[in-house]
């Protein structure tokens, strides 16, 4: 018979897997409690960084239908559950891992498939959603300005030609 607190923990982990847009698996061996607290603060509000027992994580992945990450769940394991855009969380993890060699990004799970540590790095290299939307808006505005100039060009040419004819008649 499973203890109720373990069943609750598995259910909570399973729910986190289901409700997250992405999950990153890390090894935290060697990090102090203060460093883990700093990492959680760096990750932001839409991200949950949770240390869990491997057997409970494996049961939760089975319950949630997450496949392909069992080989990542070895040693001291911590899970980063990301709700929303994964780019900012991946950047925070990458930057923290650069400063603290004890944090190792093992891989993760996103869009219904496992991802490698290299793919997490590539996600971290992407621009955030806001930056991408800003670039798109700038490109669209530039095209609209170009189009407006094209529509205005014939009218200004006619005005210049009329002025030139007027000047020619006056001569």
How far is the C-alpha of 131 from the C-alpha of 100, rounded, in Å?
27
Does this model's pTM top 0.85? My answer is no
What is the pLDDT at residue 170? 81
CATH number 3.30.300.30 is the correct assignment for the domain at 4-126: no
Angle at 11 between CA 67 and CA 85, to 5 degrees: 60
**Cα–Cα distance for residue pair 79/58, rounded to 1 Å:** 12
CA distance 21 to 110: 6
Rounded to whole angstroms, how far apart are CA atoms 168 and 155? 20
Number of H helices, E strands in the chain: 6, 5
Per-residue confidence in pLDDT tens, the chain, 171 aa: 468 888 898 999 999 999 999 999 999 988 899 999 999 999 988 899 999 999 999 999 999 998 888 889 998 899 999 998 899 899 999 999 999 998 999 999 998 899 999 999 998 888 777 777 888 888 888 888 888 777 877 877 877 888 888 888 887
Q: Which residue has the tokens 């030609």?
A: 161
Q: Can you spell out the DSSP letters for 96-140?
A: HHHH-TT-EEEEEEETTEEEEHHHHHHHHHSPPHHHHHHHHHHHH
Please state, in angstroms and rounded to a whole number, the distance separating the CA atoms of residues 8 and 14.
10
**CA atoms in the 13 A half-sphere facing the CB of 82:** 23
92/39 Cα distance (integer angstroms): 8
């Amino acid at each position: 018979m499973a203890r109720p607190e373990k069943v609750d923990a598995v259910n909570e982990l399973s729910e986190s897997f289901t409700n997250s847009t992405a999950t990153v698996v890390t090894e935290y061996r060697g990090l102090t409690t203060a460093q883990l607290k700093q990492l959680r603060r760096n990750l932001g509000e839409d991200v949950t960084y949770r240390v869990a027992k491997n057997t409970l994580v494996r049961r939760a992945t089975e319950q949630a239908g997450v496949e392909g990450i069992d080989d990542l769940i070895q040693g001291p394991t911590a899970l980063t559950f990301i709700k929303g855009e994964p780019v900012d969380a991946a950047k925070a993890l990458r930057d923290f891992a650069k400063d603290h060699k004890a944090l190792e990004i093992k891989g993760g799970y996103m869009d219904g498939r496992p991802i490698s540590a290299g793919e997490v790095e590539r996600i971290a290299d992407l621009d955030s959603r806001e930056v991408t939307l800003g670039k798109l808006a700038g490109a669209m505005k530039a095209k609209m300005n170009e189009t407006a100039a094209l529509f205005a060009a014939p009218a200004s040419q006619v005005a210049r030609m009329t002025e030139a004819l007027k000047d020619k008649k006056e001569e």
